[in-house]
């Protein structure tokens, strides 16, 4: 019962909206036709004006609703966004035939019931001019509404494509972000494993710090972009954790002004680069791993001295590939990395 009532209410509301639009259209049409009539008569003729008003209402409402519902029906069968060619090729002649038939019926009905003509001649010479004018107007209106329909259909398709692209990008970004956690845990557990053998007390501190850092990762896992301020603060916490094992064998120097800290970049990108630097290089207290983070123009440069480890296992390149793909999905260019003069440098565009 409720469904039927809601359906009737919806249909009534739709009809009221169509009737309101039709009335607005006829009011505008009436002003135009009355203006033409006044120019033609060169004087105010109330009798002719009443005739024009009645004709506009009689023909206008009929043509408006007939064309509106025919247009809705064709849109359901041949949507513009799916098959615009078929919609145009079928729609234009269908509109013209329907309007011609409707015009003949309205003239016949008008003569029979309003003019009391017993044998209406709808195709007589007296109506030839009316048909030609009406068909010309119908053709222009049909082409206009088809152009509007085609444009609206294409815009709907464009919006749909944009939505699909956004959903695809969002899904890909989520997939890339999901790589960060296993990558981080794998490297952290390797460090923890070595620390347990070397210094069990430090291992406990490391585990406590690791839990706090991983909590931060979980809290920010939904954010793909973060501020440079937050990223540097997290990078510092991560390096403090690494110093529990490596002590003075690793250093990090941050050279970024306060005014630049509100710029954005992919979240956890610095942590990935720090992981890679520690994982791929050999270092000790006599030859420490020195990491420098500084801003150059619109870029953030992360550089470290390079001393490649031999026979490194698990070198799957997740870190750099992950960052590169995330920048690509944001349509941001400028991410690059290079090896030169025993230095490994990564350039991160700031957004």
Q: Where are the domains of the chain?
A: 2-163, 223-349
Closest to 177 in 3D by CA, of 144, 223, 128:
223
pLDDT at residue 79, as a whole number: 78
Closest to 293 in 3D by CA, of 328, 255, 257:
255
CA angle 46, 54, 29 (to 5 degrees): 90
Quick one: DSSP state of residue 43? S
Q: Are 106 and 58 in contact (CB under 8 A)?
A: yes
Q: List beta partners, residue 266.
A: 225
Q: Which fold has domain 223-349?
A: Heat Shock Protein 90 (3.30.565)
Q: Are 240 and 189 in contact (CB under 8 A)?
A: no
pTM, full prediction? 0.51
- Over residues 323-347, mean pLDDT: 89
- Range of lowest pLDDT (43-47, 151-155, 345-349): 43-47
Both ends of the chain: CA-CA distance in Å?
A: 56
CB atoms within 10 A of CB 53: 14
State pLDDT tens for residues 192-236: 777 777 778 778 888 887 887 777 777 766 677 889 999 998 889
């Amino acid at each position: 019962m409720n469904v039927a009532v809601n359906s009737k209410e919806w249909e009534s509301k739709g009809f009221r909206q169509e009737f309101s639009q039709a009335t607005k259209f006829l009011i505008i049409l009436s002003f135009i036709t009355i203006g033409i009539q006044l120019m033609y008569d060169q004087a105010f003729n109330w009798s002719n004006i009443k005739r024009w008003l009645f004709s506009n209402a009689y023909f206008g409402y009929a043509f408006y609703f007939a064309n509106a519902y025919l247009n809705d029906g064709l849109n359901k069968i041949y949507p513009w966004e799916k098959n615009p060619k078929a919609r145009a090729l079928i729609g234009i002649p269908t509109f013209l035939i329907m309007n011609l038939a409707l015009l003949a019926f309205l003239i016949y009905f008008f003569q029979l019931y309003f003019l009391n003509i017993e044998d209406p001649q709808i195709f007589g010479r007296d109506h030839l001019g009316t048909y030609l004018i009406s068909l010309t107007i119908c053709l222009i209106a049909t082409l206009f509404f088809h152009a509007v329909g085609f444009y609206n259909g294409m815009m709907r398709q464009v919006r749909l494509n944009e939505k699909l692209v956004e959903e695809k990008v969002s899904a890909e970004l989520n997939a890339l972000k999901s790589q960060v956690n296993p990558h981080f845990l794998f490297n952290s557990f390797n460090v923890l494993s070595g620390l347990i053998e070397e210094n069990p007390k430090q291992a406990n501190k490391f585990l406590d710090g690791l839990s706090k850092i991983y909590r931060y990762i979980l809290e920010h896992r939904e954010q793909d972009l973060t501020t440079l301020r937050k990223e540097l603060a997290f990078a510092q916490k991560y390096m403090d954790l690494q110093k529990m094992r490596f002590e003075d064998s690793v250093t990090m120097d941050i050279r970024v002004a306060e005014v630049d800290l509100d710029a954005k970049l992919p979240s956890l990108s610095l942590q990935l680069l720090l992981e890679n630097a520690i994982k791929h290089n050999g270092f000790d207290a006599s030859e420490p791993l020195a990491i420098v983070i500084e801003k150059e123009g619109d870029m953030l440069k992360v550089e470290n001295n390079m001393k490649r480890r031999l026979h490194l296992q698990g070198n799957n390149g997740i870190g750099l590939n992950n960052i590169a793909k995330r920048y690509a999905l944001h349509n941001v260019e400028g991410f690059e990395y290079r090896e030169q003069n025993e230095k490994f440098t990564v350039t991160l565009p700031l957004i």
